[in-house]
Amino acid sequence: MRILFVSNRLPLVIEKNGSDWSTQRGSGGLVTALDPVLKRSGGIWVGWPGTADIEINTLNTLLADFSEREGYRVAAVPLTAEEYKHFYEGYCNQIVWPLFHDLQSLCNFQPDYWASALKVEQKFAEVVQRHAQPNDLIWVQDYQLMGLGKALADRGVGNKIAFFLHIPFPPPDIFCKLPWRTDVLKALLHYEVIGLQTMRDLRNFSDCVNALLPDVEQRRTSRQSRMMLEERCSVAGVFPIGIDFEEFAGGAAEPRVAQNAAELRKNYPDRQIVLGVDRLDYTKGVPYRLRSFARMLERYPDLRRKVTLFQVVVPSREAVPQYQDLKAEIEQMVAHINGKYTEPGWVPIHYVFKHVDRSELLAWYRVADIALVTSLKDGMNLVAKEYCACQLDGNGVLVLSEFAGASEQLGRWAVLVNPYDIDGVADAIKLAALMTPAERRSAMEKLRTNIREQNVYWWLSQFLKVCGTRVNDAMPPPTIGKVA
């Protein structure tokens, strides 16, 4: 079975240097995981190319070159600048994103955004239909395209169509705020398989279906719910996404990264490095984290000079006003805390706002004594997993939000926190800083074993099994066993 993979963005970045255009492969666990499946099955990836400013013939040539180089086809869904603004910046990032992260007060329920989402779904459906062959599995990714399954069914596309939601699914009292709640829920039930990250998300989804679509008959187990409506049947299930553990651990062991890490360590002698790495996003809870860090310095003066917070923020969605405000808020807070606590030879917070390159990121993961992952809500949070994979010496401590999806898998061996509890997080940082090497190693070994076993290939194989597709021979099998 060939896979026709659909996501909002294609797995590539288009760049312009002078008058020349070029493409680069996108990065991230999803691209790495799907790459071998697509290559082996002669698959195809459909999505928006990431720019509206390119002439169609140039785009087609670029995509053809990319396909040849990568070994699988890509097909573009061109969106106008206005569609991008209303659909992606509006419907996706000012409605669904905040609502699904329980932040309904940040939503802007503009009716035009919904109209645009329906239009864009039709555009995606048209391109998918054009490229789908009868036996393809059509696999749609994430919250931007929840309605695509229905748009395809309406056009008579009879393929098996599956969906995976990377972000959380909210409980009924929050989901019901969505003006188009019944349409969205009904549309989702056009997918035969609906993948969710955690049991919490499955419970919420199932409760929303119960509340809003009482005619749907549900048969539930802890990790799956079979939902029947009229002639259709959907299976909603829990499939926590993983990372390519070996790639991160191997990358962290590379000489360049090791040298980078050693240099960083030299700059912070006798000091614990506390690391935060986040996309610029209000769901990641950076202002709360900074407040907690300051509170820790205030309550436990003995720890001053002994810890330094290194906070990396990766630029993201800067066209959305809330993201600009967030950036300004973080910068003010960092300046304020540093102004208050800096002493000769010690600055409490080092703040970086940029795309750090991969080897630098891995060096930080490798060298950090404590990672702070304190999202207010998160589908999974891959940073938590990447940090542990890069902890080759096993000395690090993971401080993890109980509202990140990763807490369902990793919570037993992390220091779990409520990110809204400023005193609680301050105490957790202190607890982590004072943990003995034996305690640290024991917890980190269990974290790494779990992340290594339930890696991105395991995720893929679990999902495809429910879709009735065999995992491709070309894929590395899930690795089971003790972490070296």
Which residues are identified as catalytic?
Answer: 166, 378
Task: Name which of 159 and 374 has its Cβ closer to ligand ADQ.
Answer: 374
403 token code pair: 């509202």
Task: Name which of 6 and 62 has its Cβ closer to ligand ADQ.
Answer: 6
User: What is the contact surface with ligand ADQ in residues (CB under 6 A)?
Assistant: 28, 166-167, 241, 277, 279, 312, 314, 355-356, 361, 378-383, 386
For 180, the 3-state DSSP assignment is coil
**CA distance readout (Å), 294 to 83, 273, 278, 336, 379:** 42, 15, 19, 10, 27
Task: Name which of 276 and 478 has its Cβ closer to ligand ADQ.
Answer: 276
Task: Name which of 157 and 199 has its Cβ closer to ligand ADQ.
Answer: 199
Least distance (Å) between residue 399 CB and ligand ADQ: 15
Task: Name which of 175 and 341 has its Cβ closer to ligand ADQ.
Answer: 175
Least distance (Å) between residue 250 CB and ligand ADQ: 15
37 token code pair: 């499946």
Least distance (Å) between residue 411 CB and ligand ADQ: 15
Task: Name which of 66 and 100 has its Cβ closer to ligand ADQ.
Answer: 100
> Any idea of the CA torsion for 418, 173, 146, 202, to the nearest 10 degrees?
60
Cβ-based neighbour number of residue 236 at 10 Å: 27
Q: What are phi and psi of 155, to 5 degrees?
A: -90, 5
The whole-angstrom separation of Cα 340 and Cα 38 is 53
Least distance (Å) between residue 70 CB and ligand ADQ: 20
Q: Which amino acid is at 31?
A: V
- Consecutive H or E run containing 286: helix 286-299
Beta strand 224-229 pairing with 217-220: antiparallel
For 109, the 3-state DSSP assignment is coil
Task: Name which of 3 and 382 has its Cβ closer to ligand ADQ.
Answer: 382
Q: Which residues make beta-bridge pairs with 349?
A: 309
Task: Name which of 174 and 241 has its Cβ closer to ligand ADQ.
Answer: 241
Least distance (Å) between residue 380 CB and ligand ADQ: 3
Least distance (Å) between residue 418 CB and ligand ADQ: 18
Q: Which amino acid is at 113?
A: Y
The whole-angstrom separation of Cα 388 and Cα 431 is 18
Task: Name which of 79 and 167 has its Cβ closer to ligand ADQ.
Answer: 167
Q: Which amino acid is at 311?
A: Q
Q: How many CA atoms lie within 13 A of 417 on its CB side?
A: 30
The whole-angstrom separation of Cα 44 and Cα 72 is 6
Q: How many CA atoms lie within 13 A of 345 on its CB side?
A: 7
Least distance (Å) between residue 94 CB and ligand ADQ: 16
> Any idea of the CA torsion for 379, 380, 381, 386, to the nearest 10 degrees?
-160
Phi-psi region of 197 (alpha: psi -120 to 50; beta: other; left: phi over 0): alpha
Angle at 196 between CA 193 and CA 201, to 5 degrees: 130
The whole-angstrom separation of Cα 331 and Cα 353 is 10
For 24, which DSSP code?
E
Least distance (Å) between residue 279 CB and ligand ADQ: 5
Residue recorded with tokens 């935060």: 276
Least distance (Å) between residue 203 CB and ligand ADQ: 17
Angle at 201 between CA 199 and CA 204, to 5 degrees: 110
